[in-house]
Structure 1
Amino acid sequence: MPLKRSALGVIFCSFYVISYFTNKYVLSVLKFTFPTLFQGWQTFVGGLLLMVSGKLGWVEISSFPRSAVLSWLPGSLLFVGNIYAGSRALSRLPIPIFFTLHNASEFVTVLILKLTQRERTSWTKLFSVILLMVSAISLPLNDQQFDPGGYVWAVVHLSCVGGYRVFQKLPKSSHLSDLEQQYVNYLFSVLLLAFAAHPTGDLLGALEFPFILSYKFHSGCCASALLGFFLLLATVKLKSSLPVEHCGAWVFLAKVLATWLSPFVFNIVVNVSTLCCVLLSNCGEALLVYSNRTASER
């Protein structure tokens, strides 16, 4: 059993790292900076594959009432904000910086829960999220290639991620399974991003994209959509097979691998101060994983 769980974690980490690298390649190397189309394509393929998998009985997606869908729509809106702003930020920021800012979403989650539900937080967890926030705030002060637009989109992204994490903890979210929530997210995203493609100028910009007929572009887009779907399945399987604190440890490992392997794949320029911010964020997340594990053992 431990070997099986370890294999599942390794599979999850592999899909996680390769998925982010593929998205980064399409967004930054090929410079396909049209998130309504890029994310619309990914959610369309993901929703289609999820629907087919459900029909074939490969995954369990039950018929759910319309009231459950309506109650989940705010979560879907946060999901769209997450993927849209995330694409904007990832296209302009190196992966280590992106993840350092992304990790600050834990501070947003804790803050919202503290203000709305008066949730008690251990000193260890509180110190860990403070480390995550300090590392994120320190980044723009030390980044030699500071990109204001990239940081703004990253802030929108981490805010949506933090809010989405809180929304998942509400009682109404229990009416849908993780796969059903994601299925609703996919359907809502496709509709919203399709309507937004023309007003944002992405549709016209994509028609003039120089790599539109390139096999590298088509291969990258197809790979990103498929990898996103497999990452979803691996994530759901991981969450159903392991305790929450163990899942957090695997997610942490996946982020660390993506962060420290990315300089070998992409051209990244960082200074010592920026590197210290990234390391501080890693330490804060490691402490957060430890605090969650300690809390679960009580």
Structure 2
Amino acid sequence: MIPDVISALLLLAAAGCLPFNDSQFNPDGYFWAIIHLLCVGAYKILQKSQKPSALSDIDQQYLNYIFSVVLLAFASHPTGDLFSVLDFPFLYFYRFHGSCCASGFLGFFLMFSTVKLKNLLAPGQCAAWIFFAKIITAGLSILLFDAILTSATTG
């Protein structure tokens, strides 16, 4: 329990410092990141408060993804992001679309493998493999997306 709390606090501190060291700062991206964190937090609270579900882990993830897409689609209209997407400078670049698809597929396979690993391995081994997979995914995303990395941002 204590390592989980320390890990969460370190992650929160890193996320809090990132906007001050981001060379490509865009407030819209951070707005959507906060919305994502609130949705994930609400989902976790709801998940903990409910009695064990009859749905499998994969079914719960599918419902979570469908709910997220629907929620974000409706939320994009009042913020103006729905129509401003047509002005996005990288809209017609194949690399942008390829990176988005790669991110989606990698995220899906990471979720799928996480669910399968939880059923096959001991909790410690599962946590190590999940950590390793997230590091690989983060490394690949840096290669696919154009990012300016400074020492402060990397730290």
What's the TM-score bracket when you normalise by the shorter of the two chains? Answer: 0.5 to 0.7
Aligned counterpart for 2:146 among listed residues 267, 272, 294:
267
Counterpart residue number, 2:33: 154
* TM superposition shift of 1:229: 4.9
Counterpart residue number, 1:239: 118
Cα 1:210–1:271 shift into 2, 3 Å? closer
* TM superposition shift of 1:242: 2.0
State the percentage of identical aligned residues. 51
* TM superposition shift of 1:174: 2.7
Aligned counterpart for 1:136 among listed residues 15, 21, 32:
15
Question: 2:113 is matched by which residue type in structure 1?
Answer: A
Contact 2:117 2:126 in 1 (8 A): yes
Are 1:165 and 2:47 matched, yes or no? Answer: no
TM-score (structure 1 length as normaliser): 0.39
Q: Distance in 2 between matches of 1:127 and 1:186?
A: 28
* TM superposition shift of 1:176: 2.1
Structure possessing the higher relative contact order (Cα contacts under 8 Å, 6 or more residues apart): 1
Cα 1:167–1:225 shift into 2, 3 Å? same
Paired residues for 1:1-298 under 5 Å: 122-186=1-65, 188=67, 229-276=108-155
Question: 2:13 is matched by which residue type in structure 1?
Answer: V
* TM superposition shift of 1:140: 2.0
* TM superposition shift of 1:223: 6.3
Unaligned runs of 5+ in 2: none
Counterpart residue number, 1:6: none
* TM superposition shift of 1:248: 2.5
Question: 1:272 is matched by which residue type in structure 2?
Answer: S
Question: 2:49 is matched by which residue type in structure 1?
Answer: L
Q: Secondary structure at the match of 2:146?
A: coil
Larger radius of gyration between Structure 1 and Structure 2:
1
Cα 1:155–1:220 shift into 2, 3 Å? closer
Q: Distance in 2 between matches of 1:264 and 1:220?
A: 9
How many pairs align? 155
Post-superposition Cα deviations, 1:10-45, rounded to whole Å, max 9, x if no partner, equal: xxxxxxxxxxxxxxxxxxxxxxxxxxxxxxxxxxxx
Q: Distance in 2 between matches of 1:202 and 1:192?
A: 14
* TM superposition shift of 1:123: 4.3
